[in-house]
Amino acid sequence: MASDEINRREFIGLSAAGVAGSVLGLRPAAADATQQESWDPTAPMVVTGKALRVQPVLMYRVAQRREATSWKSWGGVQDDQAAESECGRITEELRTLATQAGFPVEMLPVVKARSPEEAARVHQNDYDCVIVYPATGSGETLKACFAQRKDRDTLVFVRHRSGPSYYWYEALSTRYLASGSAQFLQNSCLDHGPVHVDDVVVDDCGKLLWRLRALYGIKNFVGARIVALGGPWGKYAPDAPQVARDRYRLNIIDVPYDEVSGRIEVALRDKDRLRMAQRMAETYLALPDTTLMTDKEFVTNAFLLHGLFKDLMREHEAPAFTIRECMTTILPIARTTPCLTLGLLNDEGLIAFCESDFVIIPAGILLHYITGKPVFMHNSTFPHDRIVTAAHCSAPRRLDGVHYEPVRIMTHYESEYGAAPKVEIPVGRQVTFVDPEYSTRRWIGFTGVVKSNPFYEVCRSQQDVEIQGDWKKLCSEVRDSHWMMAYGDHLKELGYAARKIGIDWTDLSTA
């Protein structure tokens, strides 16, 4: 199996052959378009990202003994035998790391580099990131080990106490590494900038792993394909779709409603497909902690939409989907709202958002790939006394990637029509927020703790969240736009990824 064909459901990447087959959990493209797909709530989430290919390099030199003079540098790797032992140690550490990663990663065999010439040959290999282990050796060899392509990345791992000490634990400095933040905005998805002090890890494989997770996020975010049913737009930023194309190379596939309305009508009239959708609706409603508070037919129609939306994603080889005019145009066509449908797609491990707002969608795609979990696009409120309310009608349920949170299936709030989930997030759950400043390259991030799941006259899924960080500063950042939320604390990964691709990142939780 190829390196970027690794997943928890034999997910095989985004190649044309893969999407035509088992990618996205879909049937083959040649199947009858009126057939409804099965839905299995017990199936593990699909993984839509291509594996991160990592090339480890052990840099060292063979020290030659000379009498009555200094003949070796600091460091415990001074000969080929010690280097062979160190290669084994690195291989085992990376093997363990890969099993803990939670995202597809391929660790290539360790390559030894004893000179700039040997280091140069490393870059003939196909990798996304090189991890340099500079045990001993010259500065020229070190620089030759660094990734040579501007859109590829370098991590440097040095040992203090985790094995034989490294000379470059002492010798690394700003002579070889960039520092500060002034140059960050010169970076882009095509040029991740020079090797930086933040790219150095001492001893701790856990710190290596979260950096790799950020790089995996970048790899699958940049150039991502997304179907935009009804076309793209940007809330208060008309240039947002074009900015997303230019800055992040997003491939936005504009699918007009007139191309799908007929397909929806055919599905609604197909008795076999309708019966299957009814069975899936019954399975969903039988899940623990699921309460129906709207017409069951709306839920059935949401499952019909589920299959049709996945058809579009497969046909266009896209792991992501969004829909415009989701509170108006789609309702009379589908005879339900898309709220529950979008939640179902996210719960499967795909990426799905309402409103087709490309102010926020880039942040949602990156956050999804970094976390490996569903993300919740929502409206926010004015912060007060450390509290902000997050609310929308299309929340995922499987926000930890495994379990389904309690839910009430209600009507969509503004229309009082269709099927929309009111998801109850556990009180005390830590979450991460990302808030982009319209279509500028400035993003804000912070964490919070869920305090309650109220029932205000607002969008159905709603949480009052206590802000962790400078909530008063957040008041001056309030915009009538959308945020993204995910379970857990992912600020390190987001900040690291942001620097790589030229996003002006502000972490309010450190303020």
| Same domain, yes or no: 413 and 501 | yes
Classified as helix, coil or strand, 249 is coil
Neighbours of 258 (CB within 10 A): 7
162 against 480, higher pLDDT? 162
**Total of domains in the chain:** 2
Whether residue 47 is contained in a domain is answered as no
| pLDDT (tens digit per residue) in 20-72 | 334 454 444 333 444 456 789 999 999 999 999 999 999 999 877 777 667 67
What pLDDT, on a 0 to 100 scale, did the predictor assign at position 11? 30
The answer, yes or no, to whether residue 3 has pLDDT greater than 80, is no
| Same domain, yes or no: 199 and 247 | no
| Same domain, yes or no: 438 and 349 | yes
| Same domain, yes or no: 186 and 276 | no
Whether residue 484 is contained in a domain is answered as yes
Whether residue 12 is contained in a domain is answered as no
Contact 414, 399 (CB under 8 A): no
Average pLDDT over residues 267-292: 96
Average pLDDT over residues 279-302: 97
| pLDDT (tens digit per residue) in 232-242 | 999 999 999 99
| Same domain, yes or no: 167 and 286 | no
Whether residue 34 is contained in a domain is answered as no
| Same domain, yes or no: 110 and 125 | yes
The answer, yes or no, to whether residue 18 has pLDDT greater than 60, is no
- Residues with Cβ within 8 Å of 154's Cβ and at least 6 positions away in sequence, in order, are 129, 130, 131, 132, 145, 146, 147, 195, 199
Whether residue 330 is contained in a domain is answered as yes
The domain of 162 spans 52-64+71-220
| Same domain, yes or no: 125 and 253 | no
What pLDDT, on a 0 to 100 scale, did the predictor assign at position 90? 97
Written as six digits, the tokens of 400 are 């930890």
Closest CA to 233 of 251, 247, 252, 216: 252
C-alpha span between 369 and 144 (Å, rounded): 30
Per-residue 3-state assignment (H helix, E strand, C coil) for 29-86: CCCCCCCCCCCCCCCCCCCCCCCEEEEEEEECCCCCCCCCCCCCCCCCCCCHHHHHHH
H or E, element range at 302: helix 296-315
| pLDDT (tens digit per residue) in 362-398 | 999 999 999 999 999 999 999 999 999 999 999 999 9
What pLDDT, on a 0 to 100 scale, did the predictor assign at position 259? 92
C-alpha span between 13 and 445 (Å, rounded): 29
Neighbours of 29 (CB within 10 A): 13
C-alpha span between 238 and 243 (Å, rounded): 10
Residue 150 is part of a domain; what is its CATH number? Answer: 3.40.50
Residue 322 is part of a domain; what is its CATH number? Answer: 3.20.14
> 67 φ, ψ to 5°?
-80, 145
> Residues 388, 393, 394, CA angle at the centre, nearest 5°?
110
Our measurement of the distance from residue 289's CA atom to the centroid of its chain's CA atoms, rounded to an integer in Å, reads 28
Neighbours of 160 (CB within 10 A): 12
Average pLDDT over residues 151-163: 97
What pLDDT, on a 0 to 100 scale, did the predictor assign at position 38? 75
Classified as helix, coil or strand, 27 is coil
Q: 420-435 b/e with 16+ CB inside 10 Å = b?
A: bbbbbbeeebebbbbb
Our measurement of the distance from residue 105's CA atom to the centroid of its chain's CA atoms, rounded to an integer in Å, reads 14
Lowest mean pLDDT among 4-18, 79-93, 467-481: 4-18
Which of 165, 200, 220 terminates a domain? The answer is 220
| Same domain, yes or no: 389 and 492 | yes
- Residues with Cβ within 8 Å of 101's Cβ and at least 6 positions away in sequence, in order, are 209, 212, 213
478 against 292, higher pLDDT? 292
What pLDDT, on a 0 to 100 scale, did the predictor assign at position 303? 97
C-alpha span between 208 and 397 (Å, rounded): 31
Average pLDDT over residues 417-436: 97
Express as a percent the part of the chain with pLDDT over 70. Answer: 92
Alpha helices in 191-295 (DSSP H): 205-221, 240-248, 261-269, 271-285
Our measurement of the distance from residue 6's CA atom to the centroid of its chain's CA atoms, rounded to an integer in Å, reads 16
DSSP labels, 117-157:
HHHHHHTTS--SEEEEEESS--HHHHHHHS--STTSEEEEE
Average pLDDT over residues 94-105: 96
Cα torsion angle, 288, 294, 297, 300, sign: negative
Average pLDDT over residues 75-86: 92
C-alpha span between 264 and 258 (Å, rounded): 10
| Same domain, yes or no: 193 and 270 | no
Classified as helix, coil or strand, 474 is helix
Which of 175, 196, 220 terminates a domain? The answer is 220
Lowest mean pLDDT among 2-11, 406-415, 481-490: 2-11
Four-CA torsion 91, 93, 96, 101, nearest 10 degrees: -100
Written as six digits, the tokens of 47 are 């993984």
The answer, yes or no, to whether residue 300 has pLDDT greater than 80, is yes
| Same domain, yes or no: 147 and 228 | no
478 against 192, higher pLDDT? 192
Lowest mean pLDDT among 11-15, 18-22, 25-29, 117-121: 11-15
Whether residue 14 is contained in a domain is answered as no
Which of 194, 220, 246 terminates a domain? The answer is 220
The answer, yes or no, to whether residue 207 has pLDDT greater than 70, is yes
What pLDDT, on a 0 to 100 scale, did the predictor assign at position 184? 76
The answer, yes or no, to whether residue 422 has pLDDT greater than 70, is yes
**C-alpha distances in Å from residue 326, one per residue of 294, 409, 484:** 18, 17, 18
Whether residue 388 is contained in a domain is answered as yes
| Same domain, yes or no: 258 and 113 | no
Average pLDDT, the chain: 91
Whether residue 85 is contained in a domain is answered as yes
| Same domain, yes or no: 236 and 93 | no
Cα torsion angle, 59, 61, 62, 65, sign: negative
DSSP state of 331: H
DSSP labels, 410-454:
EEETTTTEEEEEEE-PPTT-EEEEEEE-TTSSEEEEEEEEEEE--
